[in-house]
Amino acid sequence: METINNFDKYDFPLDVLWLDIEYTSERKWFTWNATSFPDPVELLEWVDSQAHRKLVPISDPHIKIDFEYNIYRELLENDYFVLDSEGRAPFVGECWPGNTSWVDYFNPAAREYYGKLHLYKNFPSTPALGGFWNDMNEPTLFDNLYERTFPFDLIHYGGVRHRDVHNIYGMLQTMSTHAGLIERDNGTLRPFILSRAYFAGSQRYANKWSGDNMGRFDDLRFSIPMALTSNLVGLAFYGADIPGFFAGATEELLIRWYELGIWLPFFRAHAANGTPRREPFLFGNETQEILRDHMKLRYKHLPYWYTVFYEHTVTGDPIVRALLYQYPEDPVGYDLNDEFLIGSDILVASVYESEATSVQVYFPDSTDFWYQITGEGYKFFEGSTWAEIPVNMTYIPVFYRSGSIIVRTTSTGRSSAYNREASLELHVVPDRENNAVTRLYIDDYESFDYVNRKEFYYVELNYQFDGEDHLTVTDLDEESIPGDVEFPSIDTVHIYERRDDGVTVKTLTEDRNGNKLSAINLFKQKKLL
């Protein structure tokens, strides 16, 4: 409660607090530490009342050996554990609770049992417990004799040796967690699951983070090719712990990691027990201002992010993209893994060296311009060129592609729930023919009505200039029925214009007849300018 109140006091947006292993009673999953959480339901109701925020607890696949722990007893009685190499008894190893055994998710009945542990009647909570975090599921144990994972001759359900199915184990845990969360909320809410292990197909059940990284500039650098590779193979909701899990990151590294981390799909700060506290409100005013500005910049771009996420589910295109994916005919992009695209229209160049004062940036596609939106003043750069871009501690280089319209919220609030009610602003970046286009997807952000009832908006916004500004909207899915989903008002249109001496931005809040843009229902009238 104190942490959430401090995020509000110091004006930092916040959606989720993560509960690591000590929230449990003696590291027994699906229990609460009664000292820290005497009334978890009451606490979760309070968390929900604070701008619909969430808690997400960790849950590992190993189970503490304790005959007073009913989950252990029931798993043992039903033969739901992974067996030793002779198939006679549950395998026993050491992990966080001490001596433990592991759920055998290859057994369909064990998966069903594990899934039902997530039900409210079995684990007191509310929907404000916004999902689960499946960790240590490679699987991991502490004994170096086994290279910190299962011996390969352990036996799974059906007599299968672990050596033949090792990489699938973690995915089966997330599948079980997913099924349990679907049942928990009667199929009304989309499950959220974070997993450390994954396999082909894991993206159907969980998103991914890079695991226990270090607070070093090299680890910041490596987070980009890791995210791009993960996106290329289909697991797109990916990110790295900010500013490194182990070791105490310097304040400079913390700033740089926030500046870059806001542009990866999964955005979380997380640290090992014993490392210095690093909530953003604990730093000096200058650092706070930088972190606050960047966190809010991410939140302002959530309409753009949400559309790219939706389109990924339809097309399979990565959310964050290596240049080689978007521009396969450009050979330069094949050698670059320190700059990347979000969707097709935002280009980010990472800064991963201490005391950097500039960074070399390549701009793809000779038909495009790229408009820098961070730093002092707007600048534009021709495609198929390199440029040395100055940087200081307050920003890294970020660019909008010509021919695009970037949809942003006009303001941010305490959480992403605020953004659902916020009005929009359009950043129009015309191409050489003075045209620009984008797509916008909106639904209720939490249910399956977008699938089951086709309740969503999916539209194309099209800008043209022929001496006057024109902006129209076209439905992209004629079968969609928005239902209770509201199309937000568009308050402001910013039009970027190239000049010999740089870039100017024309801001419109009224149409040519003097009507406030915010008063025009763009979805119904199909025309804004």
On the 0-12 / 13-18 / 19+ scale of CB atoms within 10 A, 484 is: exposed
Task: Give backbone dihedrals phi and psi of 275, rounded to 5 degrees, phi first.
Answer: -80, 160
Per DSSP, the residues of 352-411 read -STT--EEEEEE--TT-EEEE-SSSS-EEEESSEEEEEE--TT---EEEETTEEEEEES-
Among 60, 138, 259, 365, the active-site one is: 138
**6's tokens:** 């401090």
Per DSSP, the residues of 303-328 read HHHHHHHHHHHHH---SEE-HHHH-T
SS3 179: helix
Sequence length of the chain is: 529
Known active-site residue 353: no
Per DSSP, the residues of 208-245 read EE--S-BSSHHHHHHHHHHHHHHHHTT--SEE-EET-S
Among 42, 212, 286, 421, the active-site one is: 212
Distance separating alpha carbons of residues 105 and 133, to the nearest angstrom? 17
> Can you list the pairs that 485-488 forms with residues at least 24 positions away whose Cβ atoms lie under 8 Å?
485/442, 485/443, 485/444, 485/455, 485/456, 485/457, 487/442, 487/457, 487/521, 487/522, 487/523, 488/421, 488/422, 488/423, 488/424, 488/442
SS3 113: helix
Tally of CB atoms within 10 A around 526? 13
SS3 206: coil
SS3 299: helix
What letter does residue 287 receive in the DSSP assignment? H
CB-based contacts of 282: which residues, under 8 Å, 6+ apart?
A: none
Half-sphere CA count of 348, side-chain side, radius 13 A = 22
Phi-psi region of 377 (alpha: psi -120 to 50; beta: other; left: phi over 0): left
**322's tokens:** 């290596």
Distances (CA, A) of 127 to 28, 124, 172, 175, 417: 21, 11, 23, 19, 15
What is the torsion angle, in degrees rounded to the nearest 10, for the CA atoms of residue 31, residue 36, residue 39 and residue 44?
-90
Distance separating alpha carbons of residues 485 and 125, to the nearest angstrom? 28
Distance separating alpha carbons of residues 174 and 439, to the nearest angstrom? 32
Distance separating alpha carbons of residues 367 and 383, to the nearest angstrom? 6
Known active-site residue 138: yes
- Whether the CA torsion 20, 24, 26, 30 is positive or negative: it is negative
Known active-site residue 135: yes
Among 135, 241, 345, 469, the active-site one is: 135
Residue whose C-alpha is closest to residue 215's, from 267, 259, 287, 269 = 269
Active site residues: 135, 138, 212
